[in-house]
Structure 1
Amino acid sequence: MKDSQMDTGPLLPDGLFAGLTEPAPGTLERLHDRLAAAAAGRQLIDVSYRTVDSPLGRLLLAATERGLVRVAFALEDHDAVLQALADKLSPRILEAPSRLDNAARQLEEYFAGTRRSFEVPLDFALSRGFRLSVLEHLPHIAYGSTESYADVAKAAGSPKAVRAVGSACANNPLPVVVPCHRVVRSDGSFGGYLGGPEAKRILLALEAA
């Protein structure tokens, strides 16, 4: 049969999908949760992630088996953050909210004013050298207190590395949980912040209340 003589009618009979309904509410979510659990059980996930709402906007949380590895603001572009995690850590990334329930709960308590420190394991795989020294010091700055960039440089072992402290804070992969918002300029002004100046103001005001 020549091409011009081929039947061009519908490939599937009419009414084939008649009677089919949309999945029951929550079905896809439950299937996804089962997939995530199965993948985790077979050690097929290297990075789990979820998002949470906060007074600072929607936050992305990501964790490895060692601990929380990333907290990202919406303005950072969550898709870009996930791609960076795939490039730097592992492409085996899956949205698995339940694996981050504890971190999400502690953040909710913090923003509600009922938690002053975080008790979640942290993975500093994205930081090295002097930046890592700075980040390891930041949780020692008390809730409701601040330190200058110069103070942090001294505490991190390099008193003259004030600008490097600013760079470490600006590239902090775990903002809020690792409180770089508590680092301010020597004159008391805020300085820069990864989440923007308004986010830093909100956090300092929360802790001052």
Structure 2
Amino acid sequence: MRIMLDHPLVNAVIRFDGERILGVSLSGDHDDRISEGVPEFVRETVLKMERLLDGEMVEFDLSRVDLSVCTPYQLRVLRVVSGIPWGSTMSYGELAEAAGGSPRSAGSALAANPFPIIIPCHRVIRSDGSPGGYQGGTELKRILLKKEGAL
């Protein structure tokens, strides 16, 4: 099943089953909406995503996120990234050092992050302080970092 997050900054599609969130796409242009059949944990996640996009500090329950599609290296990267606090950033090089691998491989793992916003890959930036790439676009990444006070 899936549900649409319709926010002025981005449209996102959140895929889920009865137990877990299966993925988030920031390029969604579907018109599915929150309905009565959506589990409470999914509703809460969508509301937290909206609050984060509005600039509010939130914490996500990662126990409901299905990480089984991730490679072992991607799991290491996403675990490190999920620990980056609100208002903070980490460079791709620092991430690579913490997770093992190269900055390029860390960036590739983030590019394939199936849970953008929930796992805050927007908090990873280039070593020169510039935002770098993001699934939702560089401008959205810049906006999120500014809302968090990290830029």
Shorter-chain TM-score: which interval?
0.7 to 0.9
Query: What's the TM-score, normalizing by structure 1?
Result: 0.62
Aligned-partner residue type, residue 197 of structure 1? T
CA deviation string 1:144-166 (max 9, x = no partner)? 1100111111111x1x4211101
Give me the whole-angstrom Cα distance separating, in 2, the residues matched to 1:146 and 1:106.
Answer: 20
Taking the aligned partners of 1:175 and 1:51, their CA distance within structure 2 comes to: 14
Where do 4+ consecutive residues of structure 1 move more than 4 Å? none
Instruction: State the partner residue of 1:98.
Output: 38
Q: Which residue in 2 is equivalent to 1:172?
A: 113
RMSD of equivalent CA atoms: 2.3
Q: How far 1:179 sits from its partner (Å)? A: 0.5
Q: 1:67-146 counterparts in 2 under 5 A?
A: 67-74=20-27, 98-99=38-39, 100-119=42-61, 121-146=64-89
Query: Unaligned 5+ residue runs, structure 1?
Result: 1-47, 79-94
**Structure 2 unaligned spans of 5+:** none
Distance (Å, rounded) in 1 between the aligned partners of 2:12 and 2:81: 20
**Which structure features the higher share of helix residues?**
1
* Cα distance in structure 2, aligned partners of 1:172 and 1:96: 28
SS of residue matched to 2:148: helix
Provide TM-score, normalisation by structure 2: 0.84
Letter paired with 2:134:
Y
Report the identity percentage.
Answer: 37
Sort the Cα spacing of 1:77 and 1:125 in 2 relative to 1 into closer, same or farther, 3 A: farther
Output one character per residue of 1:152-207: Cα deviation in whole Å (capped at 9) or x when no partner.
11111x1x421110101111110011001000111111111111111111111111
In the alignment of these two chains, the number of paired residues is 144
Greater CA radius of gyration, 1 or 2? 1
